[in-house]
């Protein structure tokens, strides 16, 4: 009789493995095949056991940290680049330069997709973001420029600098040289049917995730429908933070278009104006002292979410938001430690923030009867060692871990 042992050690007879054929349905076509809507299925929805069991409500997280660029932003980068190709703004393998201002994740995702398609990237980052994000962009051959955090009205703000760099690139003489035909004919370009114009000076393209509707579209066409399919339509609420608002707008629009009673809730970190915008219609509440500080003025630990201005993507999300929850950085850190210790899920700061808000929503609505709440697990904790999960830094900021925080949150009436 076969035992585990002899199955492992004895290879099957040749006759048992024939016919030998590459399973094309099991192999994806390069790194782009790994993004979001994977051939073998979508990014999984993972049940957060410790929270779900305690609440009697299914708390499900979409495991976006499994994307090849390590975050939900891979979907957006791919969609923005494909849209630019369709609009004739980018041609694969011309080494055109993609510019973006980002808190990091979008930069890594753009650099990932750019490498697969024969583009270059210049990424402008605020200089206070976790160092590992800049290193990932550099490892993918991207150019990184760091600037001081500043208000969006400041010309030196990272998004404004990215726009300016793209303009300069397009106006400058063609120092990059016109690509000769030999360079253009690569295996990837042979597969790609889009024709490269003969005068193919590399172009500068400003991706502009805050205003680019391809961001919204990525979530409307992939993340939203995946959540619907994966829950079999059993979804009572969707909770998410907003950095550009693309996720909230795209997923929210898709889910509400099918069932308008699905609750859409915002998880908002300290220093962001969105919470007030949802609650009172204005970006800042002068009565709340913290609300008068802007996100870029706070020593932020939670990265990638929070917004102090209205953009095209968040404009589409705002009418969909039924409720908003304020989450402090310390609450997010305590949640993050809880998830690592109790669930074995080592997640990034915005994921933890989302999960604090999920619990707050369930408690507020007094749900305890098997309802389903879906959120986004945007990136992994390993992206945050130098900052959000840097114990020395937390100590300097006076942070004292509160191992009981999540238990108290779960009990809250």
Joined tokens for residue 251: 């997923």
Query: Closer to ligand PMP at the Cβ: 200 or 375?
Result: 375
Distance CA 259, CA 69 (A): 32
User: Least distance in Å: CB of 303 to ligand PMP?
Assistant: 6
Residue 223 in contact with ligand PMP, rule: CB under 6 A: no
Within 87-171, where are the H helices?
105-117, 131-139, 158-171
Shortest spacing between CB 149 and ligand PMP, in angstroms: 14
Closest separation in Å from C-beta 187 to ligand PMP? 32
**DSSP reduced 3-state for 333:** helix
Q: Which of residues 376-395 bind ligand PMP (CB under 6 A)?
A: 378-379
Instruction: Single out the segment in contact with ligand PMP by CB under 6 A; choices: 118-126, 241-249, 270-278, 323-331.
Output: 241-249
Instruction: Find the part of the chain contacting ligand PMP (CB under 6 A) among 49-57, 156-164, 237-245, 400-408.
Output: 237-245
In this structure, how many other beta carbons lie within 10 angstroms of the beta carbon of residue 384? 26
In angstroms, what is the minimal distance from the CB of 306 to ligand PMP? 9
Encoded tokens for 317: 């999300």
Which two three-digit tokens encode residue 136? 């990932």
- Between 304 and 381, name the residue whose CB sits nearer to ligand PMP: 304
Candidates 92-100, 116-124, 242-250, 278-286; binding stretch for ligand PMP (CB under 6 A): 242-250
* Rounded-to-integer distance, Cα 6 and Cα 8, Å: 5
Instruction: Choose between 159 and 378: whose C-beta lies nearer to ligand PMP.
Output: 378
Q: Does residue number 122 form part of the binding site for ligand PMP (CB under 6 A)?
A: no
63 binds ligand PMP (CB under 6 A): no
Q: What is the smallest separation between the CB atom of 178 and ligand PMP, expressed in angstroms?
A: 36
CB of 216 to ligand PMP, least distance (A): 9
Which listed range, 107-115, 245-253, 269-277, 366-374, lies at the site for ligand PMP (CB under 6 A)?
245-253
| Closer residue to ligand PMP in complex, CB, 224/245 | 245
Q: Are 83 and 214 in contact (CB under 8 A)?
A: yes
Q: Which of 244, 272, 360, 375 binds ligand PMP (CB under 6 A)?
A: 244
- CA-nearest of 216, 205, 215, 245 to 114 is 205
Is the torsion defined by CA of 160, 163, 168, 171 positive or negative?
A: negative
- Given 50, 103, 300, 336, the residue binding ligand PMP (CB under 6 A): 103
Is residue 264 a contact residue for ligand PMP (CB under 6 A)?
A: no
Q: Whole-number minimum distance, CB 23 to ligand PMP, in Å?
A: 34
Rounded CA gap, 404 and 142, in Å? 42
- Please answer whether residues 61 and 355 qualify as being in contact, where contact means their C-beta atoms are separated by less than 8 angstroms: yes
Contact status: 245 vs ligand PMP (CB under 6 A): yes
Cβ contact 262:403 at 8 Å: no
Residue list 295-334, contact with ligand PMP (CB under 6 A) = 304-305
CA distance 348 to 305: 11
Which pairing describes strands 263-269 and 323-327: parallel, antiparallel, or unpaired? parallel
126 binds ligand PMP (CB under 6 A): no
Strands 58-63 and 45-47, sheet pairing: antiparallel
Q: How many Å apart are CA 47 and CA 59, to the nearest integer?
A: 6
**Whole-angstrom distance, CA of residue 108 vs CA of residue 210:** 16
Q: How far apart are CA 174 and CA 196, in angstroms?
A: 17
Q: Give me the residue label for tokens 């009172």.
A: 280
In angstroms, what is the minimal distance from the CB of 52 to ligand PMP? 22
Classify the C-alpha dihedral 357-386-383-395 as positive or negative: negative
Structure tokens at 15: 């006759």
What is the footprint of ligand PMP within residues 331-360 (CB under 6 A)?
A: 348, 350
Stretch touching ligand PMP by CB under 6 A, among 85-93, 146-154, 239-247, 390-398: 239-247
Residues that bind ligand PMP (CB under 6 A): 71, 73, 103, 105, 241-248, 304-305, 348, 350, 378-379
């Amino acid at each position: 009789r076969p035992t585990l042992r002899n199955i492992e050690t004895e290879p099957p007879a040749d006759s048992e493995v024939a016919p030998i054929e590459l399973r094309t349905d099991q192999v994806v076509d390069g790194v782009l095949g790994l993004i979001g809507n994977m051939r073998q299925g979508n990014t999984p929805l993972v049940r957060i056991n410790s929270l779900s069991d305690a609440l009697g409500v299914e708390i499900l997280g979409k495991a976006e940290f499994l994307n090849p660029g390590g975050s939900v932003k891979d979907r957006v980068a791919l969609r923005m680049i494909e849209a630019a190709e369709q609009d004739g703004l980018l041609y694969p393998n011309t080494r055109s330069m993609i510019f973006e201002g980002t808190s990091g994740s979008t930069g890594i995702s753009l650099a990932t997709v750019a490498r697969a398609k024969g583009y270059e990237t210049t990424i402008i980052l605020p200089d206070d973001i976790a160092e590992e994000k800049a290193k990932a962009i550099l490892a993918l051959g991207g150019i990184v420029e760091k600037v001081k955090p500043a208000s969006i009205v400041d010309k030196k703000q990272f998004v404004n600098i990215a726009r300016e760099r793209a303009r300069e690139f397009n106006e400058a003489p063609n120092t990059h040289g016109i690509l000769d035909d030999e360079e253009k004919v690569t295996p990837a370009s042979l597969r790609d049917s889009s024709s490269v114009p003969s005068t193919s000076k590399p172009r500068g393209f400003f991706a502009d995730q805050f205003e680019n509707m391809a961001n919204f579209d990525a979530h409307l066409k992939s993340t939203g429908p995946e959540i619907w399919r994966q829950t079999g339509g059993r979804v009572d609420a969707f909770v998410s933070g907003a950095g550009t608002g693309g996720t909230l707008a795209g997923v929210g629009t898709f889910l509400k278009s099918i069932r308008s009673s699905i609750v859409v809730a915002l998880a908002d970190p300290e220093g962001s104006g969105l919470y007030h915008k949802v609650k009172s219609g204005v970006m800042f509440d002068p009565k709340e002292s913290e609300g008068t500080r802007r996100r870029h003025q706070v020593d932020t630990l939670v990265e990638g979410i929070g917004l102090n201005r209205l953009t095209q993507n968040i404009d589409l999300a705002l009418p969909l938001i039924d409720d908003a929850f304020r989450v402090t950085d310390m609450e997010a850190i305590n949640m993050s430690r809880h998830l690592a210790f109790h669930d074995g899920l080592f997640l990034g700061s915005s994921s933890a923030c989302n999960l604090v808000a999920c619990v707050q929503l369930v408690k507020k609505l007094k749900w305890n009867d098997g309802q389903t709440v879906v959120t986004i697990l945007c990136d992994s904790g390993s992206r945050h060692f130098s900052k959000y999960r840097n114990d020395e830094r937390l100590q300097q900021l006076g942070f004292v871990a509160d191992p009981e925080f999540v238990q108290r949150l779960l009990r809250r009436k």
